A and B are shown apart, each in its own frame.
Chain A
Amino acid sequence: MTHTINVNVNGVAHEAQVEPRVLLVHFLRDDLRLTGTHIGCDTSQCGACTVLVDGISSKSCTMFAVQADGREVTTIEGLAKNGELHPLQEAFREEHGLQCGFCTPGVILSVYDFLQHNSKPNEEEIRHALEGNYCRCTGYHNIVKAVQKAAE
């Protein structure tokens, strides 16, 4: 049994048939071929799958695709506008805030949401905001610097 859903992803309207059990992250990756959103775990700990749903950072492995019906989803592929990188993307490159890059899309999108609510965070607040994202490569040191830079 499938359901029809209407989702706007990165500004593009999609109508799709999905099984009710299909996770949003699988829908994005397998059906829409937006593979920038990653899967790092099956328990909603790692944050690699983080996207924006109606502007709010959400773990797309914890949502069913049907729950995205009628909503707007932004993935990492939709962050740069008119060929211009988002300041957060620039800052991650400038500050070496990534190594293998696997956690990076999720980290950037969760921090994106955070900065909407706190535009001048201190180090402690940034570290706290990163609670839902694991990075095994950077030791977070340069991720924190990148967020500070983007906030400037």
Chain B
Amino acid sequence: MSKYIGASVKRKEDGRFITGRGRYTDDIVLPNMTHAYIVRSPHAHAKIKSINVDQAKAQPGVVAIFTGKDMEADGVGSVPNGWQIGEDMKEPPHPPLAVGKVRHVGDGVAVVIAEDRYAAKDAAELVEVDYEILPAVTDGAKAMEKGAPALHDEAPDNVSFVWELGDKDAADNALKNSHRTTKLEIVNQRLIANAIEPRSAIGDYDAGRDELTLYTSSQNPHLIRLLMCAFVLGIPEHKVRIISPDVGGGFGSKICHYPEEIIMSWATRKIERPIKWTAERSESYLTDAHGRDHHTTAEMGFDKDGNILGLRVNTVANLGAYLSTLAGGIPTWLYGTLLAGQYKTKSIYVQVTGVFTNTTPVDAYRGAGRPEATYVIERLMDTAAREMNMDPAELRRKNFIAPDAFPYQTPVVMQYDSGNYEPALDKALQMINYKKLREEQKQARDQGRLLGIGFSAYIEACGIAPSKVAGAIGLRAGLYEGASVRVHPTGKVMVYTGSHSHGQGHETTFAQVAADGFGISIDDVEVVHGDTAQIPFGMGTYGSRSIAVGGNAIYKAIEKIKEKAKKIAAHKLEASADDLEFADGSWTVKGTDKSVTFAEVALIAYVPHDYPEDLEPGLEDNAFWDPKNFTFPFGTHICSVEIDPDTGKVKILKYVAVDDVGNVINPMIVDGQLHGGIAQGAGQVLWEEAVYDDSGQLLTGTMMDYAIPKADDLPSFEIDRTTTPCPDNPLGVKGAGEAGTIASTACIANAVIDAVAHLGVKDLQMPFTPQRVWNAIHGNGNR
């Protein structure tokens, strides 16, 4: 029946991208448009004594200049925090432009609006800000020390929250009674997402209709509208339209609600002209939400046979200067709840402290919480295997949750939907030719070469859900997805989705679902996303939720429409609806050749000349999908690396990945998601890190200083999959956007350490730069 689902259909959206006809926010030009440049703090922590804009205002082409005080005087609210962690959480205000004090380098202090971008930038240089510099702190652990500079009056100890999960006594006991324990100190360094399209926003106020349109490079336009209307500007939602057109990558950094979206929306109402702001890359480095930044100690206890008995984890999460939209939930609920991994660990306890520092706010970055959890567990597993002299694959196999144990309740909240972990491991072992590879490793060592093999058997929780649970864990949003499907009189179909595509290929994948649902050609389906005026409601794209939540909403809307269409078909065929079957785009009276096509039914729906009384004309419907549970994709990645002993440089020789993301709608697109994900995970292990100096200056503030992987740095990846459908949704899908990143960081890290462990290197912290690796090799006196 399915012609498209499961097929590697070429992407519908590619036509415009390969010919330069994409339409990203910065490509849009509106009549009478002005350009904004934001004056930003050069200091990490300072009092604003005064701001003088007189000279700047007198420059040619300058239209207006506003400061935080202007916005405050106008009643503009704080950038909202979307996730409450515990009753006692400290939520200090975050003004869109700083008032009184700046708290990180790049904190905005004024906006200059001019006729063109060059004029705006010129004038911005003449804005005089008198700062009184205060001592700064950039490290999470140091910010908690007595006497550390305090960022917010509301949180004198710089702590926003202390969160815990699991049974502390049980975990303590398990570790006490363990035959042996493995302990690691783990730094999951701060990263910068680096979507290649810098963020951009255009505010466009129509005074005649009192309507605001905001174009913004966002992953979830509806949420931005909700937050901005309800919490910041206090203007009604029906007067606001948010458009996120083509967006050049997000990776989490375009989920959150940013000050610039507020500033453009507010200022356009003041000057009654459209205003565009587009970040320069160095501005992105200072203001795009950063990711990760955990400092963790973790202990895992085993019995004498290698069965895991308990896990205890303590993490300090650096939140940056303010609470970004989802900042609280990521190092807590999206992290602690995944610490069981693929293993039947009986007792787990985790404590997380969220801390303010004079750095850029931290929010989601690909995987968000789950890569951090996987890194902790999988590093512990490889280390423990080495300490116990066991094969790392066998230690994992021994501890896997059995396939007949699903749904499986972990000790940390989650109930895994479905899983079968051994086949993925076996396939990966086979693909990398494991036995032979170990042989090669031995031989290599004899020759003085440094070859390592690393594992990562991960689990992921996709499509945060259901709304009931989201509410219970403090998330200030529901987590369903909306869809609207409209059938035109000629049988052409429009699908409106609340999910947002910024590279994931929704225009194709969702069209595949609709084309198969109606038995029509994919060319007859158009998918619309990223515009709050066209789409009833939605929650956007992040956390690999698009197909699992958004796709199923579309499926549900299609089913509703087919219910009605069947009645129309029954009328046309003068048969009872119960006697009809739907196949290949037609309804047929069972056992006869009497049939009517989808297109014919569509026409009748809109030209109801001869229509039964109880049917209403038209053929369209909306649906919302609120999932029963998260979905839990999993898999095993294995890689081999070689280290050049003279330079410490790591080369990934081979990388194999076996992932199980449930049913797959478009294998080509899913593989592409995995490739990109693996590359980003590799970036974290080997090169990427946001580095601050003690005064709070970001030293990795340009693409020259922050090492994004290039084509030359990476191998091609070998990818395969197993399929364990999700039992909780009709499409049986789980989600694939983050799996690669979640798995690959631990996998490559384990391989590097495996390559040097025999030299006495016990541990290394990311990123494993040549310098760090070389020092580790040579610092142990073994060579």
By the criterion CB–CB under 8 Å, are B703 and A99 in contact?
no
A60 contacts B by Cβ under 8 Å: no
B505 contacts A by Cβ under 8 Å: yes
A108 contacts B by Cβ under 8 Å: yes
B13 contacts A by Cβ under 8 Å: yes
By the criterion CB–CB under 8 Å, are B196 and A46 in contact?
yes
Q: Who on chain A is nearest to B193 by CB?
A: A136
* Contact status of A41 and B505, CB under 8 A, knowing A77-B19, A102-B248, A139-B717: no
**Which residues of B have CB within 8 Å of A99?**
249, 503-505, 672-673, 676
B763 contacts A by Cβ under 8 Å: no
B26 contacts A by Cβ under 8 Å: yes
By the criterion CB–CB under 8 Å, are B503 and A101 in contact?
yes
Number of A positions contacting B (CB below 8 A)? 58
Q: In the bound complex, what is the Cα–Cα distance between A46 and B706 (angstroms)?
A: 12
By the criterion CB–CB under 8 Å, are A104 and B17 in contact?
yes
B502 contacts A by Cβ under 8 Å: yes
**Which residues of B have CB within 8 Å of A108?**
18
By the criterion CB–CB under 8 Å, are B704 and A43 in contact?
yes
Binds B, one of A1-9, A30-38, A64-72: A30-38
By the criterion CB–CB under 8 Å, are B11 and A96 in contact?
yes
**Which residues of A have CB within 8 Å of B118?**
19, 21-22
* Contact status of A130 and B711, CB under 8 A, knowing A76-B19, A105-B20: yes
**Which residues of A have CB within 8 Å of B198?**
39-40
**Which residues of A have CB within 8 Å of B281?**
40-43, 46
**Which residues of A have CB within 8 Å of B110?**
none
**Which residues of B have CB within 8 Å of A46?**
196, 281, 703
Q: In the bound complex, what is the Cα–Cα distance between A14 and B78 (angstroms)?
A: 48
Q: Shortest beta-carbon distance, B171 to chain A, in Å? A: 37
By the criterion CB–CB under 8 Å, are A100 and B197 in contact?
yes
Using a CB-CB cutoff of 8 Å, which residues 94-152 of chain A contact chain B?
94, 96, 98-105, 108, 123, 126-128, 130-131, 133-144
**Which residues of B have CB within 8 Å of A33?**
29
Q: Shortest beta-carbon distance, A76 to chain B, in Å? A: 4
A48 contacts B by Cβ under 8 Å: yes
Q: Shortest beta-carbon distance, A120 to chain B, in Å? A: 18
By the criterion CB–CB under 8 Å, are A136 and B708 in contact?
yes
* Contact status of A141 and B20, CB under 8 A, knowing A43-B704, A93-B14, A101-B503: no
By the criterion CB–CB under 8 Å, are B708 and A42 in contact?
no
By the criterion CB–CB under 8 Å, are A36 and B194 in contact?
no
By the criterion CB–CB under 8 Å, are A101 and B676 in contact?
no
Binds A, one of B401-409, B617-625, B638-646, B677-685: B677-685
Interface centre among B23, B29, B116, B196 (most CB of A within 10 A): B196
Q: Shortest beta-carbon distance, B319 to chain A, in Å? A: 24
Contacts A101-B13, A134-B703 supplied; 20 other A-B pairs, CB < 8 Å: A22-B118, A29-B27, A35-B26, A35-B27, A36-B21, A38-B248, A77-B20, A94-B10, A96-B668, A96-B669, A96-B672, A98-B17, A100-B246, A100-B502, A100-B503, A134-B194, A134-B710, A135-B196, A135-B711, A140-B714
